Structure 1
Amino acid sequence: MNLSQIRVLVAVSDTGSLTAAAQRLGLSQSGVSQALAALETHLGVMLISRTQRGAEATAIGDEVLAEARDVLASLDRIKRATDLARGVEQGRLRLAAFPSVFHTLLPPLLRRFQELHPGIEVVTLEASDTEIEAWLAAGTVDLGVTAVESYSATQFPLGQDDWVAVLPSGHAIATAPIHSVSLARLSNEPFILATGGCTIHAGSLAETLGCGLQDVRMEVRDWISSFALVREGLGVTVVPEPTLPSDRRGIRVLPLKEDLHRYFALKPSFLAQNNPAVSAFLNLARSQVQMLQTSNSEKLLV
C-alpha cells in the first residue's frame, strides 16, 4: 500500500468514476484501475463497486476512505506547516505555457498546488515557446513550460504526448487498410504545417528524421485551423494527440510508425530560483511525475 493508491481511492470516491478520477490526478484510466486493484488485493477486500450509477464505496470501503482522508489531511497539514516555516504560504507564482498544455497536463497540477498552498496566487499566461524563453530570460515569469528533446535533457520533466497523422477522410492513405503511417511517407504529400506556436513541430521532426517536408502548402499556428484545412482536402498534417478535435468527421487519425513524442519540462527563471513558491511547485510536479511513472511501471508488471 502506498500514498499514490490512497490518493486514487479518494479520487474515485469523490468523482464517482475511474475516468473522472484519472483526469483529476493526471493519470490514465488504466493506471487508476491498476492502482485501485493493487490496493484492494493488498487489503484483501473490495473497496469500490462498479454500479450503473458509477463507482461507489462498499461498506468496508467507506471505513477505509474515512481513514484515507485523515491520512491525506494530515499530510497536507504537515506540508503547510513546513511551507509556512520556509515562507512559502504567501506570494505569487507566474507561470507561462503553451495553450495545449493548459488543456491537458497543467490542470491537475495547478488544482493540487492551490489545495496545498491556498495563500499563493498563481498567474497563468499562454505563449509560444520563443515568447516563454524571452520572458524567462527577462524575469517576466517565474516558471515556464518548454518543449525538450527528451526527459534526459531536463531536471524538471512535466509530461509527454504523442504525435499523430491527420488526413482527409477521402485521402488514398486514409482509405487504405492500414493502422499507422510513417512521417517519411507523409513528407511527400501536400502538407498543412501546424506549429502551435512551438519550434518543435512536424517540420522540425521531419528534418530530424532526414525526410524534410517537400510540399508545405500552408503554415498555421492554430491547431483548429489545420483540422479545418485538412477537412477541405488541402493537405495532411501531423499534430500532438491531445490537440485533436472531438468531432472527427471528414478526417482520419493514424498513429505514426516512428512513435514520436513531444516532451515538456518546467524551467525556472534565473531570477526566481530562490523563490520558495517556485521550489514548492517544482517539488509537487516532480512528485506527480514520479507517481505517474510508478503507475505506468505497475501497469507493465501486471
Structure 2
Amino acid sequence: MMPCITISYRGRMDIKKLRTLVLVSQLGSISAAARAAKLAQPAVSQHLKALESHFGTRLFDRQRQGVSPTEAGKLVLEHSLHILSHYDRARSGVQELQGQAVGPVTLGLPTTVAATVAAQLVRRMAMIYPEVQLRIVEAMSGHLREWVDTGRVDLAVLFESTDAQRSDGEVLLHESLCLVSSGKDTRFAEQPSITATALGSVPLILPGRPHALRVLIDRFAAQLGIDLDIRFELDATSATRQLVAEDQIYTILSLPSIQKDVASGLLRSTPIVSPSLDRRLVFCRSPVHPFSTAFQAVRRELTFALIELREKNDWKSWVVNVG
C-alpha cells in the first residue's frame, strides 16, 4: 500500500505574485514596481502580503528610502527567478508549438550596424511581434563572434571580407566601402571615384587591429601591393568622423555609417574602384540555443529593415540578400 502524503498550502501563490516580488526586489521600491508592472500600488502591497502569509515570514524590510529583501526574501527571490525562468520557457515552448513567435532574444550588432538599423528593427519587432522581448547589444565583430559561439548572445551580425575562408552564417548583404574626407576638402571634390591604388597617396586614420575593418583594409592593400599611409589608429567611429571633418586626413568607412554627415556637408564620400573594397554582413546563430520561431522572426525582420533602409536612402553600395 502506497504511503499517504499530505501537502498543506497556506494561501495561494501564483506566477503574477512571484513576478511582483522580483520587480520589488530589483527596483527596491513598491511604487516603482507598481509603475513597471502597470498595477496600482495597493495591489503590489497585497501581492507581497500574500507571499509573506504563504511563507509565514517577513520577506522585505520597509524603510523610508524603499524596501530591501530579508534573508528569507533573498532565498525566495532566488527560487522565484528559477521558477519564472522555467515557466517562461514552458510557455514559450507551448506557443512555439502553435507557431507563435514569443520569448527573449539577444541580438549582437557591430556598432556601425546598430547605429544604422537598430531603431528600424526595434520598431518592426514591436509592431509585428510584440511577444518577442528583443535585446540588442553592440560590440566589435571579433567579440560578437566569441559571444555567439559561447551562447552569450542568441544571434549576431558580423562583418566578413568577401573572400573569408570560414563563414558559418547567412549572408545578409554585401556593401562597398568608400574613402571619407572633410566636406571642405577639395582634393576629390570633382572626382566621381578613387582607384584602389591611389589610396596609398592619402593620409589615413583607421581602427587598430584586430578590428574587423582594419583587418579587411590591410588584406585588401596587401593583395594589391598598396603601401598605406596610416597616421593614426582610433577604434572610435564617432571620434574618427570628427577628426576627418576638422583636419586634412581621411578614413575608410561605409556610406550608411556617415550618411547624415554627408547630407549635411560635413563629410564627403568617394567610392573606391578598380577594384572596389567590399565586405559582407552575415547573420550567425548560437550553436548553444535552438533556432526558435522568435529567432526566425528577428532574422526575417532584420532583412526587411535592411531593405527598407536601402530603398529609403538609395544606398546603392548595399546589395541585400533576400533569399
Task: Work out whether the TM-score is over 0.5.
Answer: yes
Q: Distance in 2 between matches of 1:158 and 1:168?
A: 30
Task: Tell me what 1:73 maps to.
Answer: none
Root-mean-square deviation (CA), in Å?
Answer: 3.7
Match of 2:296 among 261, 273, 279: 279
* Higher-Rg member (1/2): 2
Report the TM-score, using the length of structure 1 for normalisation: 0.58
The answer to whether residue 180 in structure 2 is matched with residue 166 in structure 1 is yes
Distance apart, 1:271 and its partner CA: 0.9
Match of 1:268 among 279, 285, 295: 285
The answer to whether the Cα contact below 8 Å between 2:221 and 2:228 also exists between their aligned partners in 1 is: no
Task: Tell me what 1:51 maps to.
Answer: none
Q: 1:206 to 1:231 in 2, by over 3 A?
A: same
Distance apart, 1:218 and its partner CA: 0.4
Task: Tell me what 1:147 maps to.
Answer: 159
Distance apart, 1:83 and its partner CA: 6.2
Report the TM-score, using the length of structure 2 for normalisation: 0.55
Q: Distance in 2 between matches of 1:281 and 1:187?
A: 41
Q: Which has the higher mean CA deviation after the structures are superposed, 285-294 or 126-135? A: 285-294
Task: Tell me what 1:100 maps to.
Answer: 112
Q: Distance in 2 between matches of 1:89 and 1:116?
A: 10
Secondary structure class of the residue paired with 1:112: helix
**Consecutive aligned runs of 4 or more in structure 1 exceeding 6 Å deviation:** 287-294
Match of 1:200 among 205, 213, 219: 213
The answer to whether the Cα contact below 8 Å between 1:163 and 1:238 also exists between their aligned partners in 2 is: yes
1:103-125 Cα distance to aligned partner (Å, 9 max, x none): 32344344333333211211110
Distance apart, 1:289 and its partner CA: 7.2
Match of 1:184 among 188, 192, 197: 197
Q: Superposition pairs for residues 105-124 of structure 1, below 5 Å?
A: 105-124=117-136
The answer to whether residue 247 in structure 2 is matched with residue 233 in structure 1 is yes
Q: 1:134 to 1:225 in 2, by over 3 A?
A: same
Counterpart of 1:244, as a letter, is I
Secondary structure class of the residue paired with 1:114: helix
Task: Tell me what 1:91 maps to.
Answer: 103
Secondary structure class of the residue paired with 1:140: coil
Structure 1, unaligned runs of 5 or more: 1-81, 297-302
Task: Tell me what 1:217 maps to.
Answer: 231
Q: Which has the higher mean CA deviation after the structures are superposed, 130-139 or 208-217? A: 208-217
The answer to whether the Cα contact below 8 Å between 2:177 and 2:252 also exists between their aligned partners in 1 is: yes
Q: Distance in 1 between matches of 2:248 and 2:176?
A: 23
Counterpart of 1:186, as a letter, is L
Distance apart, 1:214 and its partner CA: 2.9
Q: Distance in 1 between matches of 2:307 and 2:260?
A: 30
Q: Distance in 1 between matches of 2:175 and 2:109?
A: 15
Match of 1:127 among 123, 139, 143: 139
Alignment length (residue pairs): 214
Percentage identity across aligned positions? 19
Distance apart, 1:287 and its partner CA: 6.7
Q: Distance in 1 between matches of 2:230 and 2:288?
A: 40
Counterpart of 1:199, as a letter, is A
Q: Distance in 1 between matches of 2:119 and 2:193?
A: 31
Distance apart, 1:210 and its partner CA: 2.0
Q: Distance in 2 between matches of 1:291 and 1:101?
A: 14
Secondary structure class of the residue paired with 1:118: coil
